[in-house]
Structure formats: C-alpha cells, structure tokens
C-alpha cells in the first residue's frame, strides 16, 4: 500500500508524516557520518514518520557509559532542549555515545519507548534496548535482543540509485564502457594507507579497465591523504577523477549508480556495504597491512554471501543481490512491534 509523505522542517528538525500512521520515531543523529547514515537508513526503511534529533556532545560524553548511566548528561544545552515530550514510540540510535540518551528517553517515557540500537552500545544498560543490530563480524554472543547483519545499514537503495543514475549518467557518456568505479578510503586509527598501496591499487584498477576496454570513475576520501596524489598519477586509462575537496558535488553515489563494476578499498565497513548495494560486480582491495581482523571477517562474509570478490586481474561477468542491512533491521523492528 502506498504511503503519502508530508515533510516539515523547523528548528533543525525534519519531520516526515506518513498518512494514517500513529507511530512516532526519533532518529538520534550525532557528528559521526557513519552513525548518521546508519540511523537514517533504518529510519527511512521503516516507512514511518520520523523526526531527527541532532546530538551535540560535551566532554562528559567521553566518560564510560556505566558512569553516565541513563541520562542527558553528555549533551549540550541546545541538544537537551530538543529532547522533550511528547516522547517517541521508537528511538533509533547508533554508537556508544548515543546509548545513554536513548536509555534516558525510555526511562522518562515510563519504559514505553522501543529502543533500536545500531552497533553494540557496551554492556552497561544493554538489556534496556529492545533491539541491538550488530554486524556479524563483531562475533558477539547471542542474546534475546541482539540481531546480526552483514555489514552496516546505509541509505543506498534501488530508488536512490535510480535517481542518482539520472543525475550523473550524462557526465560520463564520453568515456568508453565498462565504467569501473574506484572508491578509495584511506588510513584508519590502526592502519595506514601507504603510498605503495596507493600505487599498487591505481595500477591494478587501471589495468582492469584497460583490459576491458573501459574507464575508471575515481573517488578519494578525506582519509586518503597524500596517497591520493600517488594513486591518481597511476590513472593512465580513460577516467573521471574526483579528489576529496574538489569543487562541485561529490559523485560518490553517482558512481555506484552508473558503474558496471566497483572496486573499493576494504578499510571501511560503510564503504564496503554501500558498494554492495548495487547488483554489479564488486571487488575489494584489502592488503593485510591495511585491514584489521574485524574488517577481514567482514570481507569473508561478503565473499561467502556472493556480494564481493577479492580484487584480481580481470573484470568478470557476474551479479549478486543488493546488500541492504537497513531493510533487515527495519523489518525486525516492525516484527518486534507487531506491525
């Protein structure tokens, strides 16, 4: 059944009203882009009205959750002012710092709010969440309120890809096909994306495109650092290059929407998950020196599920079902709510 949607915006809050729907959902959004994408992905997949509540943290939020407890103590005064009745029926939150806020909302609402948490919030207060969605590569022990998913929830859907394809496909028409998107992350807290890795990846991607008679659609990220220059110098085949910080709109989703295949670095759970949202071949560049144990387990899950393959020499003709963990989490929320 189609659901009519009306959008209101005021005081930094976006409200989507679904006609005939009495369920109020809050999405708690903080300053981490990955958390935001996961929360909004699940909220949108619910197909219900939802309100965005932006969270600004103070240094108190860095304290362990067992110290903060169920409270708004780690929030700025401006954020606390936006957390007032009427309390929501459902809260969607992501990450450790948002957990005390979600728990306090439930407490203030007399335990009547359903809490859906993305990523494990830590042991303190974990039983107060009605659903905790965690990636299988976290290897957590089973518990009644825990569900495991492959990868991370995101906002890349069939509809958003179709929209982006219409917007971007004309930009690349002069390039020979197949179009191979090269999505480059970079260094993390524990691993460094080195110049030698960038050189190796650039050459491998360009060789794959050249052998197929196609082109590269290249995008680097904030974390690519100076290695981005090294990689771009290796792009001698036809291509469209967007370096992080370039003027104009980032073509990231446009690449995913129009590419005939995708190569993505394995340093980001979100990037790997989003790359697998389209049914085209996906190849992971994941040298051991760049990848943590958790990332390696994710990659193996993607390989086992048929969503991705290790980066090789040649482009192959294969497909896979789109990976959309947000739909899985939303479906489980509806099931547990009896809706």
Q: For the chain, give every domain's residue range.
A: 5-153+326-337, 158-310
End-to-end Cα spacing for the chain: 14
Q: What is the pLDDT of residue 245?
A: 87
CA distance 258 to 50: 30
Distance CA 296, CA 303 (A): 11
User: Mean pLDDT throughout 308-335?
Assistant: 96
Q: How confident is the model at residue 43 (pLDDT cuts 50, 70, 90)?
A: very high
The pLDDT, as a whole number, for residue 94 is 97
Look up tokens 């969440």; give the residue. Answer: 129
pTM above 0.95, yes or no: no
Beta carbons within 10 angstroms of residue 88's beta carbon: 24
In this model, does residue 330 exceed pLDDT 80? yes
Same fold, 5-153+326-337 and 158-310: yes
Instruction: State what percent of residues in the chain have pLDDT above 70.
Output: 94
Q: Give the C-alpha separation, 37 to 214, whole Å.
A: 31
Both tokens assigned to 246? 């370039």
Pairing of strands 50-54, 13-18: antiparallel
The pLDDT value recorded for residue 10 is 30
Distance, in Å, from the CA atom of 35 to the CA atom of 225, rounded to the nearest integer, reads 22
SS (H, E, C) 151-219: CCCCCCCHHHHHHHHHHHHHHHCCCCCCEEEEECCCCCCCCCCCHHHHHHHHHHHHHHHHHHCCEEEEE
Contacts of 111 (CB under 8 A, 6+ apart): none
pLDDT for the residue 197: 98
Scanning the structure block, which residue is given the tokens 């650092």?
225
Mean pLDDT taken over the chain: 92
Predicted local confidence at residue 11, as pLDDT: 30
Q: Is 221:240 a contact under the CB 8 Å cutoff? A: no
Q: Kindly report the CATH class assigned to 5-153+326-337.
A: alpha beta
Please give the share of the chain, as a percent, with pLDDT higher than 90: 90
Cβ atoms of 176 and 279 within 8 Å: the answer is no
Selected from 3.30.1450.10, 3.30.300.20, 3.40.50.1950, 3.40.640.10, the CATH number assigned to the domain covering 158-310 reads 3.40.50.1950
pLDDT of residue 18: 39
Distance CA 203, CA 127 (A): 49
């Amino acid at each position: 059944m189609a659901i009519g949607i009306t959008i209101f915006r005021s005081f930094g809050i976006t409200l989507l009203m679904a006609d005939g729907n009495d369920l109020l959902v809050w999405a708690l959004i903080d300053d981490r882009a990955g958390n935001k994408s996961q929360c909004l992905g699940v909220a949108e997949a619910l197909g219900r009205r939802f309100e965005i509540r932006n969270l600004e943290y103070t240094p108190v939020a860095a304290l362990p959750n067992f110290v903060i407890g169920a409270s708004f103590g780690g929030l700025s005064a401006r954020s606390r002012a936006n957390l007032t009745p009427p309390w929501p029926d459902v809260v969607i939150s992501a990450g450790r710092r948002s957990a005390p806020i979600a728990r306090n909302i439930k407490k203030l609402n007399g335990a009547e709010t359903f809490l859906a948490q993305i990523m494990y919030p830590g042991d303190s207060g974990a039983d107060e969440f009605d659903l905790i969605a965690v990636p299988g590569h976290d290897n957590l022990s089973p518990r009644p309120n825990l569900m495991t998913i492959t990868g991370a929830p995101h906002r890349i859907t069939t509809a958003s890809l179709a929209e982006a394809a219409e917007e971007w496909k004309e930009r690349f028409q002069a390039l020979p096909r197949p179009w191979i998107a090269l999505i480059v992350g970079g260094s993390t807290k524990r691993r460094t994306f080195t110049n030698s890795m960038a050189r190796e990846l650039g050459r491998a991607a360009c060789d794959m495109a050249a052998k197929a008679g196609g082109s590269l659609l290249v995008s680097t990220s904030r974390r690519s650092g100076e290695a981005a220059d090294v990689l771009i110098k290796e792009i001698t085949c036809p291509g469209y290059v967007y370096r992080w910080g370039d003027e104009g709109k980032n073509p990231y989703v446009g690449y995913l929407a129009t590419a005939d295949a995708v190569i993505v670095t394995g340093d980001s759970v979100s990037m790997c998950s989003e790359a697998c949202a389209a049914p085209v071949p996906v190849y992971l560049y994941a040298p051991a020196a760049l990848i943590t144990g958790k990332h390696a387990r994710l990659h193996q899950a993607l390989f086992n599920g048929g969503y991705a393959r290790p980066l090789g020499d040649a482009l192959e003709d294969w497909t896979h079902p789109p990976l959309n963990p947000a739909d899985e989490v939303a479906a489980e929320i509806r099931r547990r709510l009896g809706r």
